[in-house]
């Protein structure tokens, strides 16, 4: 088969155009995937920060209550419940199942601690003065639940840290692939 110069030019232009289109399409898809991955990572990091902040706030709250034996006046408590629900919802969207489970355990441990504290505090309504001493079995239960809650919170922090560090370890490997490389 013999090609004329015009046919060879047309075939060459067509092959070049297809290669250019294919390369552009491939790079565009890779760029969109990378941008989506980065947006999800940023949202995940934000919700992890919010969850860790709420854990830190809970630790400070518990330490203050254990030191004084009184609940502080918190007028925006309802807002805290809504905030906790929002953090859990965001964790369910962006977090791993392991982080979500750890967060649920953290909230449950804090709830158990508050329940035991309320039972200890309720002694006053029955004519018994609440005493913060090991001889009071209700106070001992409060301290035990506080210790458990602290341990569960530390596990949550460790799980979040491990997941973030694992993600950071994987991300540089992805950037070695030419179409995944970040441009500064």
- pLDDT tens track of the chain, all 184 residues? 788 988 889 999 999 999 999 999 999 998 888 898 888 888 888 999 999 998 998 899 899 888 888 777 765 555 566 788 888 899 999 989 999 999 999 999 999 999 999 888 888 677 776 677 777 888 889 999 999 999 999 999 999 999 888 766 655 545 545 555 555 4
The reply to whether 36 falls in a domain is no
The reply to whether 18 falls in a domain is no
* pLDDT value of position 84: 80
**CA–CA separation, 10 and 53 (whole Å):** 64
* pLDDT value of position 180: 52
Contacts 24+ apart (CB under 8 A), 89-97: 90/43, 90/46, 90/47, 90/50, 91/47, 91/51, 93/43, 93/47, 94/40, 94/43, 94/44, 94/47, 95/44, 95/47, 95/48, 95/51, 96/163
The reply to whether 30 falls in a domain is no
The reply to whether 35 falls in a domain is no
The two tokens of residue 28 are 């565009």
The reply to whether 7 falls in a domain is no
The reply to whether 58 falls in a domain is yes
The reply to whether 60 falls in a domain is yes
Domain that holds residue 151: 47-180
Q: What is the tally of structural domains in the chain?
A: 1
* pLDDT value of position 170: 58
**CA–CA separation, 115 and 145 (whole Å):** 9
* pLDDT value of position 184: 45
CA distances (Å), origin 156, targets 48, 99, 166: 10, 7, 15
The reply to whether 27 falls in a domain is no
The two tokens of residue 36 are 């989506």
């Amino acid at each position: 088969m013999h090609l004329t110069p015009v046919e060879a030019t047309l075939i060459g232009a067509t092959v070049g155009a297809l290669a250019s289109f294919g390369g552009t399409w491939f790079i565009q898809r890779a760029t969109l995937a990378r941008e989506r991955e980065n947006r999800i990572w940023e949202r995940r990091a934000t919700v992890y920060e919010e969850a860790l902040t709420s854990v830190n706030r809970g630790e400070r709250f518990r330490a203050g209550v254990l030191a004084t034996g009184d609940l502080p006046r918190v007028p925006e408590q309802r807002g805290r419940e809504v905030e906790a629900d929002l953090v859990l919802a965001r964790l369910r969207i962006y977090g791993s199942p392991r982080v979500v489970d750890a967060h649920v355990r953290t909230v449950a441990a804090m709830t158990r601690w508050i329940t035991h504290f309320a039972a200890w505090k309720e002694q006053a309504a029955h004519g018994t003065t609440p005493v913060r001493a090991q001889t009071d079995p209700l106070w001992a239960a409060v301290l035990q639940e506080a210790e458990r809650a602290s341990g569960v919170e530390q596990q949550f922090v460790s799980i979040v840290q491990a997941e973030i560090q694992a993600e950071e370890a994987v991300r540089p490997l992805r950037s070695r692939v030419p179409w995944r490389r970040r441009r500064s």
